[in-house]
């Protein structure tokens, strides 16, 4: 019995030493956050995670989805009249007053730069008629983009037992947001002056996300805090065409944690050019053209982040006809090349004609047909 205990202790000790040796060798991040993740936005590749699937309160990081839904369902030029309900919303504020009018665009900047809870309610009521219906749209969108362990009950992130998400889901939401140039523009804005309204003065807004200033390549995304959620931060940074997203939830040192995660991820990834603009990706036959073959080329370059251990996880599918009918115009889109990472599409490039090909004249077509018939007889009956 004693021998068994000693044996088990030795095994456990050896496992402990081995595990820590591996972590030390690879310099994995050491963060204070209860949940954390750092992910490549283009591929969804997770470079590091810690309890990233545990449900937690998101606080104001919720507002990323509020922005996405507003951009997709609202009109940026709409003038919104602030309700009494919106103006009396608790928590961080854009200092809106009942009856004040402001454009959707200005309200969205107020939401993302200084976390105006009142602005989220004004937008939600304008887009959906109520915060409840707007939150339903938010949840529906979250699930549609793969953030399936997320549920929103409000537009601001104020605590509610049924308002929750995970670090991984927040990273997915941010990654989706970055596909929209307006989302990227708003969350990466350091300073914005909102014009005065009839009921309000100029609002001089400075983004609460310090990562925009002190982290190289910082370009988003949202801070958050409540007693229930702790200090939260979703941060984005882009270098060498690599867009990263780091999430820390309930963190003691959210700025340092985020910097640590981003530094680690950038050290693990290198940009790799999969296609360069003009690369020939397919040669196809041309029917009734003055040339019989046409080269299809990539109309843009594709650069994706690759690490040492996932080089073989990328694949490409060329989706283009094997035969085309003349005439063909140079630069004409004739197909696409799709890039997959772990069987998930992560990039697509248009395939265009490298040159123009004119259609044969009727006489030329007739001669070619006659020649083909002659060749057939020569090969089979001569």
Enumerate the domain spans of the chain: 35-268, 274-353
Give the three-state DSSP class for 222.
strand
Q: How far is 166 from 99, CA to CA, in rounded Å?
A: 37
- Rounded to the nearest 5 degrees, what angle is found at the Cα of 267, between the Cα atoms of 264 and 269? 110
Compute the distance between CA of residue 133 and CA of residue 136 in angstroms, rounded to an integer: 5
**Residue 203 pairs with which residues in a beta bridge?**
194
Residue with tokens 């005439």: 327
Question: What's the token pair of residue 110?
Answer: 């107020």
Helix (H) or strand (E) holding 86: helix 84-87
- Give pTM, 2 decimals: 0.84
Say if residues 81 and 119 touch (Cβ distance below 8 Å): no
What CATH class does 274-353 carry? Answer: mainly beta
pLDDT at 8: 35
Listed in order, strand segments (DSSP E) in 9-145 are 35-40, 46-50, 79-81, 101-103
Mean pLDDT in order along the chain per 10 residues (382 residues): 36 34 58 98 96 98 98 97 98 97 98 98 98 98 98 98 98 98 98 95 97 97 98 97 97 98 96 93 93 95 89 91 94 95 93 93 60 68 66
Question: Which residues are marked as active site?
Answer: 60, 63, 115
Contact 299, 352 (CB under 8 A): yes
| In CATH, 35-268 is 3.40.50.720 | no
Q: Is 222 annotated as a binding residue?
A: yes
The pairing of beta strand 323-325 with beta strand 280-287:
parallel
- φ, ψ for residue 223, nearest 5 deg: -90, 170
Distances (CA, A) of 71 to 75, 184, 187, 202: 7, 12, 13, 24
């Amino acid at each position: 019995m004693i021998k068994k205990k000693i044996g088990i202790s030795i095994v456990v000790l050896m496992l402990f030493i081995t595990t820590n040796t591996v972590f030390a060798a690879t310099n994995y991040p050491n963060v204070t956050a209860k949940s954390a993740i750092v992910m490549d936005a283009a591929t969804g590749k997770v470079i590091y995670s810690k309890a990233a699937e545990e449900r937690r309160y998101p606080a104001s990081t919720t507002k990323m989805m509020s922005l996405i839904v507003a951009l997709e369902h609202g009109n940026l030029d709409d003038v919104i009249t602030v309700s009494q309900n919106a103006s009396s919303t608790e928590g961080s504020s854009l200092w809106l007053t009942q009856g004040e009018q402001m454009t959707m665009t200005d309200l969205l900047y107020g939401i993302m730069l200084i976390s105006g809870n009142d602005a989220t309610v004004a937008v939600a009521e304008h887009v959906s008629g109520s915060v409840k219906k707007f939150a339903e749209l938010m949840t529906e969108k979250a699930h549609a983009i793969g953030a399936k362990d997320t549920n929103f009950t409000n537009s601001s992130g104020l605590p509610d037992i049924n308002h929750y998400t995970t670090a991984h889901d927040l990273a997915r939401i941010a990654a989706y947001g970055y596909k929209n140039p307006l989302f990227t523009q708003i969350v990466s804005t350091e300073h914005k002056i909102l014009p005065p309204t009839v009921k309000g003065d100029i609002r001089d807004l400075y983004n609460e996300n310090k990562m925009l200033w002190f982290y190289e390549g910082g370009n988003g995304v949202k801070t958050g805090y409540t007693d229930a959620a702790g200090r939260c931060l979703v941060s984005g940074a882009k270098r060498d065409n690599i867009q990263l997203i780091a999430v820390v939830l309930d963190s003691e040192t959210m700025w340092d944690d985020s910097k640590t995660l981003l530094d680690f991820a950038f050290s693990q990834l290198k940009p790799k050019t999969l296609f360069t603009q003009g690369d020939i990706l397919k040669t196809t036959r041309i029917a009734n053209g003055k040339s019989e073959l046409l080269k299809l080329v990539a109309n843009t370059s594709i650069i994706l982040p690759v690490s040492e251990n996932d080089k073989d996880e990328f694949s490409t599918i060329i989706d283009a006809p094997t035969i085309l009918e003349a005439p063909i115009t140079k630069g004409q889109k004739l197909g696409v090349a799709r890039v997959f990472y772990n069987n998930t599409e992560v990039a697509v490039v248009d395939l265009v004609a490298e040159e123009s090909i004119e259609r044969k004249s009727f006489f030329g077509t007739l001669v070619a047909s006659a020649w083909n018939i002659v060749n057939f007889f020569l090969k089979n009956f001569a």
